[in-house]
Structure 1
Amino acid sequence: MRVLVLRPETAAARTAERLAALGHEAVRLPLSKAEHAVDAVKAALAQPHGAIAVTSAEMARLFERIGGAPAADRATAVFAVGKATAWAMRDAGFAHVLSAAGDGESLAGLIAEHLRANGPLPHPLLYLAGNPRGPGFESRLAEAGIPFRTVEGYRMVPLAPSGTAVDAALLQPVPDAVLLYSRESARAFFALAPLAEAPGRFTALRLLCMSANVAAAVPERFAAHVAIAAAPSEESLLALL
Structure 2
Amino acid sequence: MLRVLVTRPELGASRTAQRLQETGFQPILLPLTETAALPVDAGLIPGYAIAVAITSANAVRLASRELIAALAGLPCHAVGTRTAEAARKAGFSSVSEGPGDAEALADSLAGHFSGKVIVYLCGRVRFPVFELRLRAEGVRVHAVETYDTLAVGYSDEAILERLSGQSADAVLLYSAKAAAAMQVLIRRPALQGLFEKTRFFALSTRIAAVLDGTANERIRIAAQPDEETLLALLRARP
Whether these two folds match at TM > 0.5 is yes
- Cα distance in 2 for partners of 1:43, 1:174 equals 51
TM-score by length of 1: 0.86
CA shift digits 1:49-79 (9 cap, x unpaired): 211111111113214x639942x54342111
CA RMSD, 1 decimal: 2.3
Gaps of 5+ in 2: none
* TM-score of the superposed pair, with normalisation by structure 2: 0.87
- Structure 1 residue 202: deviation in Å? 2.1
Pairing 1:167–2:163 present: no
Q: Within 5 A, what are the aligned runs for 1:202-241?
A: 202-241=195-234
Give 1:5-154 correspondences, 5 Å limit.
5-40=6-41, 42-45=42-45, 47-63=47-63, 66=65, 69-70=68-69, 73-113=71-111, 115=112, 124-154=117-147
1:193-235 Cα deviation digits (max 9, x unpaired): x543253542321100101111111122332201111100011
Residues 159/37 of structure 1: CA separation in 2 closer, same or farther (3 Å cut): same
As a proportion of its length, which structure holds more helix? Answer: 1
- Identity over aligned residues, as a percent? 37
- Distance 1:7-1:195 versus aligned 2 partners, 3 A rule: same
- Quick one: distance in 1 between partners of 2:43 and 2:16? 32
2:188 to 181, 193, 196: 196
Aligned length: 232
Unpaired runs of at least 5, structure 1: none
Say if 2:60 and 2:121, in contact at 8 Å, map to a contact too: no
Q: 1:160 deviation in Å?
A: 1.0
Asked whether the 8 Å contact 1:38–1:62 carries over to 2, the reply is no
Give the ranges of 4+ consecutive aligned residues of structure 1 lying more than 6 Å apart after TM superposition. none
